[in-house]
Structure 1
Amino acid sequence: MRILILCTGNSCRSQMAHGFLQSFDKNIEVYSAGTEASGKLNTKAAQVMNEIGIDISGHTSDSVEKYLGEKWDYVITVCGGANEACPAFMGDVKHRLHIGFDDPSHVEGTDEFIMSEFHRVRDEIKEGFYKFYTKNIK
């Protein structure tokens, strides 16, 4: 089973989803990418995942172009905001899905509020991807 999780920057939501899917089942090949990859992992995303025992600190922010020539069982987009365009993937894909989430990296406010949004989105990603996993893979 090969799964690509796709977003715009590949620094936050797609990285957390990647970490969760890999934690549910080590036999799944999971990758994440962005149409405008930032080139770096969001440190707050890595922090909130580490708090629950999932280490994504070694993940890289990769361009979707790296994966266009490959075959995928699923490509899942995770963009969520009304002002955010979901990227399209034109590679060889059996199933295309969208599981959208807010982007906590754009939240403004106090440090406490920003971290609460990272925790909220992390927990929503866990729930959304666990539902996907139990329905489609397990």
Structure 2
Amino acid sequence: MIKVLFVCVHNSARSQMAEAFLNDLGKDYFIAESAGLEPGTINPLIVKVMAEVGYDLSQNDTNSVFDYYKEGRLYSYIIKVCDLENGQRCPVFPLARNVLDWNFEDPAAFTGTEEEKLEKARHLRYKIRENVTDLINTYKDSI
């Protein structure tokens, strides 16, 4: 199994979505966790759009990437789903074979009406799922 850590700023949206998708769609090949640089609370917009496609994130906790680092957790892949600038703050995990930068916009910064924000969140959901599917197809044969 390939162990993956998804990292974003607050572990409240992007990393949670990616973790859910990879643990479901890639369950035969991958084990995913997620964490944040400054853990916050789960974004209600993301809870809503993930529920639309059958994923319940409403009871998820947020985790600290630095706590995982201090615990000595090991990962084959670290995938930063935050913007490039914040991704540079992520600690270097020993023995991680690869670090990927996916660079998604933070849903906390979405503006507009509630429906406009939901549409942006749905688009983000689609893009993250697409990246996760590509990851599975690319790396599953390296097991």
TM-score relative to the length of structure 1: 0.90
Residue 73 (structure 1) aligns with: 76
Higher alpha-carbon deviation: 64-73 or 22-31: 22-31
Contact 1:13 1:103 (8 Å CA) reproduced: yes
Displacement of 1:51 in angstroms is: 0.5
Contact 2:19 2:34 (8 Å CA) reproduced: yes
Residue 96 (structure 1) aligns with: 99
Contact 1:2 1:72 (8 Å CA) reproduced: yes
Residue 14 (structure 1) aligns with: 15
Listed one character per residue, the Cα deviations across residues 58-92 of structure 1 (whole Å, up to 9, x for unaligned) are 32111112211111110000113x7x521322222
Question: How do residues 105-120 of structure 1 correspond to structure 2 at under 5 angstroms?
Answer: 105-120=108-123
Contact 2:66 2:91 (8 Å CA) reproduced: no
Task: Give distance in 2, aligned partners of 1:20 and 1:46.
Answer: 13
User: What residue identity is the alignment partner of 2:18?
Assistant: A
Displacement of 1:55 in angstroms is: 2.0
Structure 1 residue ranges, 4+ long, deviating more than 6 angstroms after superposition:
none
Contact 2:65 2:90 (8 Å CA) reproduced: no
Higher alpha-carbon deviation: 126-135 or 55-64: 55-64
Structure 1 gaps of 5+ residues are none
**Alignment counterpart, residue 38 of structure 2, candidates 36, 39, 53:** 36
More helix by share: 2
Displacement of 1:23 in angstroms is: 1.2
Displacement of 1:137 in angstroms is: 1.8
TM-score relative to the length of structure 2: 0.87
Structure 2 gaps of 5+ residues are none
Residue 64 (structure 2) aligns with: 63
